[in-house]
Amino acid sequence: MRSPELPPRLESKRFILRDFTPSDRAAFVAYQMDERYRALYGTADNDSTRASSNALFDRFLAWQEEQPRRNFQVGIFDKSSGDLLGCVGLRGKDLPVDSAIFGIELSPTHWGRHRAAIEASTMMIAFGFRELDLASIMGVTASDNKRIARLADWFGAEVVA
């Protein structure tokens, strides 16, 4: 994996994928604290869950400073409104230099926007192969996650375990 010279900022007609900034924290934590999101992970609405969301956001910011940079977790923003729709990433730490783990999540408000998930995934995967020189991109999810299974199937992914 090579590090691009500039931070990633990927644009389509409808979306911008870019590194998070400190001003994005409130929107990120808010969607992670949504009761529908917490239900996926069985977490409570409490200070500990909020602290975990903040720590995750801090990790995303810290990854931006690493050299070489092996982890790219960026926000998915609506181009017209600037709203945070979710995040998407490629994480290569502890993997061979030409491999990364792909991940995507949409905020509960945007669940069901399959075209948004496909568009953001397409941009991030292309970034991985073209800009980072990846040879393989893998994804890991719970076997009963129907939304992700449908997205993976659309991309032609194959189940290996």
Q: What is the pLDDT of residue 160?
A: 57
Residue that wins the pLDDT comparison between 74 and 40: 74
pLDDT above 70 covers a percentage of the chain that reads: 82
Q: Residue 56 corresponds to which tokens in the numbers above?
A: 């995750």
d(CA 27, CA 85): 9
pLDDT of 153 above 60: yes
pTM for the model stands at 0.87
- Which residue type sits at 33? M
Candidates 51, 48, 50; CA nearest to 34 is 50
Q: What is the pLDDT of residue 6?
A: 53
pLDDT in tens, 59-90: 999 999 999 899 999 999 999 999 999 999 99
d(CA 99, CA 104): 17
For residue 25, the tally of other CB atoms under 10 A from its CB is 16
pLDDT tier for residue 106 given thresholds of 50, 70 and 90: very high
Q: What is the pLDDT of residue 156?
A: 62
d(CA 85, CA 76): 5
Q: Hunting for tokens 């719970």 — which residue is that? A: 142
Q: Per-domain residue ranges for the chain?
A: 9-154
**Domain 9-154, architecture per CATH:** 3-Layer(aba) Sandwich (3.40)
Q: Where are the beta strands (DSSP E) in the chain?
A: 9-11, 15-19, 71-78, 84-91, 99-106, 136-139
pLDDT in tens, 128-142: 999 999 999 987 655
Q: What is the pLDDT of residue 114?
A: 83
Do 90 and 100 contact (CB within 8 A), yes or no? yes
